[in-house]
Amino acid sequence: MKKNKKVSDKWVKLICGASNEDIVAIEDLCAIYSAAGVDYIDVAAEQSIVQAARRGIKWAKEVFGNSPGLMISISDGKDIHFRKATFDPLKCPSNCSRPCEKICPTSAIDFSGVKENKCYGCGRCINSCPLNLISENEYNLSKNDLPNTLKAIKPDAVEIHTEINQIDSFRRVANLIKNSGIKLKKISVSCGLNQSKKKPIDLSKALWERYEILLEHNVPLIWQLDGRPMSGDLAPTTGKDTVKLWENIGSQLPPGLIQLAGGTNDKTHEFLKRNNFPDGIAFGSYARKIMQPLIEYADKNNKKLYEYPEKMALAIKEAKNLLKPWKII
Ligand code: SF4
Ligand code: SF4
């Protein structure tokens, strides 16, 4: 299949990461991808992070007139999107070749351990340690007080991360959102096949159950098929799992916009059939990784990337290349 086949304009979301608190990178990422033309940006449910995202979006609005919606990610239970890696650096042997540090896509690891604000929980480092010293901590900013968080942040949209068996906690979270009184433009539900022994048909049934719960919200819905959530795998073929899931159950999902996520990258569109594209796609790790060197360059000089017009132009060009198969830009 040809690389840059034409498709009609699709919905594209940038995922900054449900546990990502790197506000310097988030501001730059939001500026870059807003300028490139994404429809929505998804960030952690925390005020300082949302403020950073809004600064980036504001810059893109002033310069390019683009202003994507802001979505916050929450979960209805334990969820691998809401975690951080941790280890005790004092236990590391001095002759370790430090594969954990080399593999981390956000330079979150140094001799002092994991820098929490830079770790977004991708999990790549966890299996890299030959001594199994790295573990994960749950890190769920949104669980503390969801109604007040929503009232303070006033997002355009909320994404609820859920798992097939978590219907009761999903109902509770949906009620909390409704009772907060916040008027949302969209509610997104993100679910994959994390639980072993579950089949695509189980996922389809689980999403229909959630559709029944969300009907009374009277808000447009998005179904995010999370093909390979937080696998830490950035290989070009990672998006294949998502595409397979879409081909399996895409026609059996409840009404709403369907978007692919989980391992999506610049190759994902190549695995899709021309006449069977989903409504949209969400880019996470890959979108962040390709911008990391430029963002780090600016950060080292205590500047925002948009303070370097030439480098910012390069970043926007690269972001547009990622969006090209999906958007008319
Ligand atoms: S590799 Fe991923 S999980 Fe490990 S520290 Fe880096 S961002 Fe965090
Ligand atoms: S790979 Fe393991 S032992 Fe080596 S520096 Fe990283 S955490 Fe320490």
Domains and CATH numbers, the chain: 11-81+140-323 (3.20.20.70), 83-137 (3.30.70.20)
Q: How many residues does the chain have?
A: 329
Which two tokens mark 321? 């290349």
Q: How far is the CA of 108 from the centre of ligand 1 (A)?
A: 6
Q: How far is the CA of 43 from the centre of ligand 1 (A)?
A: 17
Q: How far is the CA of 122 from the centre of ligand 2 (A)?
A: 17
Which two tokens mark 248? 């399996």
pLDDT of residue 144: 59
CB 95 within 8 A of CB 14: no
**E strands along 106-251, which residues?**
109-110, 113-114, 135-138, 157-161, 186-192, 221-226
In ligand 2, the atom with minimum distance to the C-alpha of 97 is: 4
Q: How far is the CA of 101 from the centre of ligand 1 (A)?
A: 9
In ligand 2, the atom with minimum distance to the C-alpha of 89 is: 8
Q: How far is the CA of 20 from the centre of ligand 1 (A)?
A: 10
Q: Cα angle at 172 between 23 and 81, to 5 degrees?
A: 35
Pocket test of ligand 2: the residue of 109, 110, 133 to mutate, having most ligand atoms within 8 Å of its CB, is 133
d(CA 161, CA 167): 11
CA distances from 275 to 1, 7, 19, 326 (A): 12, 9, 35, 13
Pocket test of ligand 2: the residue of 90, 92, 119 to mutate, having most ligand atoms within 8 Å of its CB, is 92
pLDDT tens digit sequence for 222-254: 999 987 765 555 677 777 888 999 999 999 999
- The model's pTM is 0.85
pLDDT of residue 230: 59
pLDDT of residue 4: 47
Give me the residues of the chain with pLDDT under 50, please. Answer: 1-5
pLDDT of residue 192: 87
Contacts of 317 (CB under 8 A, 6+ apart): none
CB 144 within 8 A of CB 171: no
pLDDT of residue 238: 75
In ligand 2, the atom with minimum distance to the C-alpha of 99 is: 1
CB 50 within 8 A of CB 24: no
